[in-house]
Amino acid sequence: MGDLRQTSPESGPGPRRARGEWHRITVEPLYVRAELFNRETLEETQKFLDDTVAAMAEHGGSRLLIYIVNAKPIFAVEKYGFSRYLDVALKAGYKIALVGSSRDLRIAHQYYAMLAQQRGVNLHAFPDEVDALAWLRSDEPSPPSPERA
């Protein structure tokens, strides 16, 4: 288990904030974990997703846990190029579990999952990390029961 990337205001160009790191990507046994903290801009979302795609390519894995913490939901997903990321996920055969720290995020994640599944991407939203990891670690292509926001 090790860090692939850590982005913080001190590590280079990009957003500068006193509160420190705003995303972290780590390799865990069987999956990559991508966490986004306190997202404020669409540009931060794009940078996070670009770094996540790069980490997945570097790691060579196909299972991804995305955990979003303390961020406002985004429903205008094409503003940051959601379709482009779905195309990458579909071509690579990713299995993606999405977890949010608030009810509003979980509702948005249900929307993202619906859009992804309509395009054939194996992305599912989960109410908590325990359920998300159980599914990611399994060989099941989709969750055993409907997701709950």
Residue 67 · residue 33 · CB < 8 Å: yes
Mean per-residue pLDDT over the chain, rounded: 82
Beta bridge partners of 144: none
Q: Strands 23-28 and 95-100: what pairing?
A: unpaired
Q: How far apart are CA 128 and CA 65, in angstroms?
A: 11
The 10s digit of each residue's pLDDT in 65-76 is: 999 999 888 777
The CATH number for 2-137, chosen from 3.30.750.24, 3.40.50.1820, 3.40.50.150, 3.40.605.10, is: 3.30.750.24
Q: Would the pTM count as exceeding 0.95?
A: no
Beta bridge partners of 25: 5, 34
Q: Strands 23-28 and 31-37: what pairing?
A: antiparallel
Domains of the chain: which residue ranges? 2-137
The 10s digit of each residue's pLDDT in 67-113 is: 999 988 877 777 778 889 999 999 999 999 999 999 999 999 999 99
